[in-house]
Amino acid sequence: MASSVVRVDLDGKPINPLTICMIGAGGFIGSHLCEKILNETQHKILALDVYNDKIKHLLEPDSLPWAGRIQFHRINIKHDSRLEGLIKMSDLTINLAAICTPADYNTRPLDTIYSNFIDALPVVKYCSENGKRLIHFSTCEVYGKTIGSFLPKDSPLRQDPAYYVLKEDASPCIFGSIEKQRWSYACAKQLIERLVYAEGAENGLEFTIVRPFNWIGPRMDFIPGVDGPSEGVPRVLACFSNALLRREPLKLVDGGESQRTFVYIKDAIEAVLLMIENPSRANGHIFNVGNPNNEVTVRQLAEMMTAVYANVSGEPALEEPTVDVSSKEFYGEGYDDSDKRIPDMTIINRQLGWNPKTSLWDLLDSTLTYQHKTYAEAIKKVMSQPTTS
Ligand SMILES: NC(=O)c1ccc[n+]([C@@H]2O[C@H](COP(=O)([O-])OP(=O)(O)OC[C@H]3O[C@@H](n4cnc5c(N)ncnc54)[C@H](O)[C@@H]3O)[C@@H](O)[C@H]2O)c1
Ligand SMILES: O=c1ccn([C@@H]2O[C@H](COP(=O)(O)OP(=O)(O)O[C@H]3OC[C@@H](O)[C@H](O)[C@H]3O)[C@@H](O)[C@H]2O)c(=O)[nH]1
């Protein structure tokens, strides 16, 4: 519950209640951010999205303690004249709306580019023209590949952090060729970052850019055939959860050699709340938000999730828990991958004093407990239905 004690910022100054226009509030990150803001602050939320399933529990019933502080607007920002008015009514806009599943980047590159660049343009423009603060969600994918990935496999320099740690103000953005349409998303996100940055430099827009590094946890994406299309391909957490729930082998794309750092959504959301409530420390900055201590290869992630799920569900793991697939088979033509993603934490540490807390084992334990509770019965039902041939 939000306490009546006056909240203070990192410099000890009282925080006035804000009205926040949150675009994409019905998604994975948005749902956790809404929950946190409603539970712990007095801020008001104008929640914009095309869907609200993931925030239904925050909207109903009317007797909820924060009922007057969240208002849902079913809006597609591609074409809705209400957008500017809602931004004008707010102190701060947070833009989370995007197509952000890799399976779409090379198969629906136009939708990906429109969603991540063109559709975000009016949001930036309305904030700039109306003197409103903007927190824009970008991605760690803007870094693309590491410099180290271009070194010979046996080069000792590959072990040198200078060749792989990703720094907001120093690392280059390295993408593949245009035929590798995987990079359509990263490229669109990079251009909108540059636009936001330029609005800050030329027109004084007060902005913060967030680069999430694989935030994971409950409510991420969908389970194909249960709360999303059967043929849909979500991000890796939901792909692996789906396989575990169905007792099918986890698919390792191109050997599962790529590396990722995973951060627990609840840790990451704390960083976002610090940005919201400390504008003087957050404005004008780009922040990596990730957990450099939680690095694994995708193969290791599969092994850990298999072990944790066996524990959570009480069902023994499959004898052959993984299977290799090529990226062409899994994602189609034009897929490419980031090799390694370690966030440098200097800027977020210095400006906001934020550090992630949760280990990968712990976050997988709570997330897979949620997946099992939420989906195990539904999957049994789906799997017992006769398939149409
Ligand atoms: N989850 C991560 O680890 C991660 C990593 C890097 C970047 N990001 C970025 O963070 C943001 C949120 O990601 P998420 O994981 O919550 O994704 P998500 O898909 O769960 O949420 C995005 C939400 O935006 C909504 N949306 C999309 N287009 C819209 C439109 N035209 N009008 C209104 N609503 C629209 C969707 O319905 C969805 O609810 C995205 O910008 C994404 O690129 C996330
Ligand atoms: O079933 C699967 C799914 C995915 N993978 C692999 O697992 C890795 C991670 O895949 P994810 O689906 O989580 O997506 P990525 O980490 O590549 O990109 C994500 O990162 C940052 C965000 O901007 C986006 O949410 C998304 O682009 C990739 O190497 C992918 O090839 C598998 O091996 N098997």
Find the distance separating the first CA and the last CA of the chain, reported in whole Å.
Answer: 51
Name which residue sits closest to atom 7 of ligand 2, judged by CA: 236
Q: By three-state DSSP, how is residue 45 classified?
A: strand
Instruction: Determine, yes or no, domain membership for 70.
Output: no
Question: 3-state DSSP helix/strand/coil percent for the chain, to nearest 5?
Answer: 45, 15, 40
pLDDT-based confidence at residue 208 (cuts at 50, 70, 90) = very high
Cis check: omega of the bond before 61, within 30 degrees of 0: yes
Q: Is 96 in the pocket of ligand 1 (CB under 6 A)?
A: yes
pLDDT higher than 80, residue 5:
no
**Residue 54 CA: which ligand is closest?**
1
Q: What's the rounded mean pLDDT across residues 275-287?
A: 98
pLDDT at residue 2, as a whole number = 56
Please give the Cα distance from 190 to 117 (Å, whole number): 9
Residue 20 near residue 27 (C-beta atoms within 8 A)? no
Please give the Cα distance from 124 to 237 (Å, whole number): 31
Instruction: Determine, yes or no, domain membership for 61.
Output: no
Instruction: Determine, yes or no, domain membership for 9.
Output: no
Please give the Cα distance from 112 to 104 (Å, whole number): 7
Instruction: Determine, yes or no, domain membership for 230.
Output: yes
**Residue 111 CA: which ligand is closest?**
1
Ligand 1 atom with the smallest distance to the CA of 189 is: 43
**Active site residue ranges:** 185
Please give the Cα distance from 27 to 54 (Å, whole number): 7
Q: Is 336 in the pocket of ligand 1 (CB under 6 A)?
A: no
pLDDT at residue 339, as a whole number = 97
Ligand 1 atom with the smallest distance to the CA of 185 is: 43
Task: Determine the distance separating the centroid of ligand 1 and the alpha carbon of 166, expressed in angstroms.
Answer: 22
- E strand segments, the chain: 19-23, 44-49, 70-74, 92-95, 133-137, 165-166, 207-212, 215-216, 250-253, 259-261, 263-264, 285-289, 295-297, 322-325, 342-343
Distances (CA, A) of 237 to 38, 223, 266, 269, 288: 27, 10, 16, 18, 20
Domain limits for position 341: 98-378
Distances (CA, A) of 66 to 17, 44, 172, 344: 13, 9, 43, 37
pLDDT at residue 388, as a whole number = 62
Q: What's the rounded mean pLDDT across residues 19-41?
A: 98
Bridge partners for 323 per DSSP: 251
DSSP string, 312-323: HH-PPPPSS-EE
pLDDT at residue 3, as a whole number = 55
Task: Determine the distance separating the centroid of ligand 1 and the alpha carbon of 226, expressed in angstroms.
Answer: 20
Q: Which helix (H) or strand (E) holds 290?
A: none
Query: 296 phi and psi, to 5 degrees?
Result: -145, 160
Instruction: Determine, yes or no, domain membership for 91.
Output: no
Task: Determine the distance separating the centroid of ligand 2 and the alpha carbon of 290, expressed in angstroms.
Answer: 15
Query: 258 phi and psi, to 5 degrees?
Result: -65, 150
Q: What's the rounded mean pLDDT across residues 226-241?
A: 97
Bridge partners for 265 per DSSP: none
User: What predicted TM-score, i.e. pTM, was given to this entire model?
Assistant: 0.98
Ligand 2 atom with the smallest distance to the CA of 260 is: 16
Instruction: Determine, yes or no, domain membership for 48.
Output: no
155: domain CATH number is 3.40.50.720
Instruction: Determine, yes or no, domain membership for 68.
Output: no
Distances (CA, A) of 287 to 109, 155, 271: 26, 30, 9
- Provide the number of structural domains found in the chain: 1
Instruction: Determine, yes or no, domain membership for 55.
Output: no
